[in-house]
Structure 1
Amino acid sequence: MAATRVTIWHNPRCSNSRGALQLLRERGIEPVVVDYLSEPPDRATLLQVAADSGLGLRGLVRDKEALFGELGLAGAGEDALLAAMLAHPLLINRPVVITARGTRLCRPPETVLELLD
């Protein structure tokens, strides 16, 4: 697994994100760490990750974020969710871990282990 590229969409202020990163490193994996708040994904990447994770955009959006409510996204369609997530990367849930074995939202952090076995 160490030779396989692993990417994590990371927010260092998030305990789940720190936990997933720590679990990867404890297993000898140094992932590509993407600070998605300062380097947000483009449209195609976000759509691909949403599809690959099996969650869709609705499953990747942080619906408990105050901004979600402020933007009135509770009943929003996919296009509105996509536009909001691209404009406000804070609305993208984390951590997302991408490996050759799959893509997962790693909440709780131990979910990352499913990608390593």
Structure 2
Amino acid sequence: MTSPTATIYHNSRCSTSRKTLELLRAHGIEPTIVEYLKTPLTRPQLQALISASGLSVREAIRSKETIYQELQLDAANDEGLLNAVATHPVLLNRPFVTTAKGTRLARPVEKVLEII
């Protein structure tokens, strides 16, 4: 029997992302790791990931990042937010995890249990 497949959109500097990766591994899942800060997602990839998670674009954004304030994204629509995240991947909340059962933003970490 093979272990379930998963992809984690990971930032190794984020404790929640590291804990989510540990949780996946504790359940016998060695996910594909996408370090989205090193290999940013395209705008269509971002849109698909966020849509699959069931979140709004705004819910998937890290509004406490300095660049969020600098770009004055409080008033931005979804198109503006997606463009900002495509240009500044640090704005994407983390970690997102995808499996055959769905996509979740693992905040809190235990949200990933819904899809493994």
Band the TM-score falls in, shorter-chain normalisation: over 0.9
Give a deviation string over 1:40-93, Cα, whole Å, max 9, x none: 111211111111111121111101111101110011111110110000000000
Amino acid at match of 1:79: E
CA separation in 1, counterparts of 2:94 and 2:12? Answer: 10
Q: CA deviation at 1:4?
A: 3.3
Give me the CA root mean square deviation: 1.3
Instruction: Quote the offset at 1:30 in angstroms.
Output: 0.1
CA contact (8 A) 1:9 1:95 kept: yes
Aligned length: 116
Runs of 4+ aligned structure 1 residues displaced above 4 Å come to none
Unpaired runs of 5+ residues, structure 2, are none
Q: Which digits, 9 at most, give the CA deviation of each residue in 1:4-48, with x for residues without a partner?
A: 320000001101000100000011100000000011111211111
Instruction: Write the letter of the residue equivalent to 2:83.
Output: A
SS of residue in 2 equivalent to 1:110: helix
Equivalent residue for 1:54?
Answer: 54
Give the corresponding residue for 2:4: 4
Q: Which residue of 1 aligns with 2:41?
A: 41
**CA distance in structure 2 between the aligned counterparts of 1:22 and 1:32, rounded to whole angstroms:** 13
**TM-score, normalised with respect to structure 2:** 0.95
Alignment TM-score, normalising by the size of structure 1 = 0.94
Equivalent pair of 1:60/1:93 in contact (CA under 8 Å) = yes
8 Å contact kept, 1:6–1:32 = yes
